[in-house]
Structure 1
Amino acid sequence: MLAGLLRDEAEAHGLLALMLIHHARRWARFRGDDLVLLEDQDRSLWDLDHIAQGRAVLDQAIALGGRGTYVVQAAIASLQARERIDWP
């Protein structure tokens, strides 16, 4: 809703992108009561549609000139959702 109301605000779109990408991994984050690290998560449990939506919103945030905290965090989350992660 916020991104819809603030269409020209890159940070609103960055926050939405961050939320979508993190939400996509919700089912893979826990095994019982134990936290599962990113590198150990079962990627088949990730919602690829949410990741794609998050990346599209991130692209919009960057196109708006976004360089703030949420845009940067969303960009990192997007990179971490790639099939191969270049950790360095």
Structure 2
Amino acid sequence: MLPTFEQHLFVGVDASIKHDCAAVVAAYHDQEQGKVVLAKHRIWYPSPKEPLDLDGTIGDYLRYLHRNYSVQEIDFDPYQMHDLSTRLRSDG
């Protein structure tokens, strides 16, 4: 079920550049059903030969979610995401 703008999305990010998949998952609480619903997700598969451009993949997807949905919170591991999170904060 796709979320509407009225539903508050909570987003989790697991970033990897070369050796593991990277993912963004967005969910919301459906009050009528009383459960958490997966709203959107995206997975990337980088490799040592083709490392992931965090800004051009995860960053662009987070910007898309922010423009089109009511994103309330984005949680991430700061190890890989520090630079990107700084840029996203300055973007608004």
TM-score range, shorter chain: 0.3 to 0.5
**TM-score with structure 2 setting the length:** 0.34
Say which structure is richer in strand: 2
Say which structure is richer in helix: 1
State the structure with bigger RCO (CA 8 A, min sep 6), 1 or 2: 1
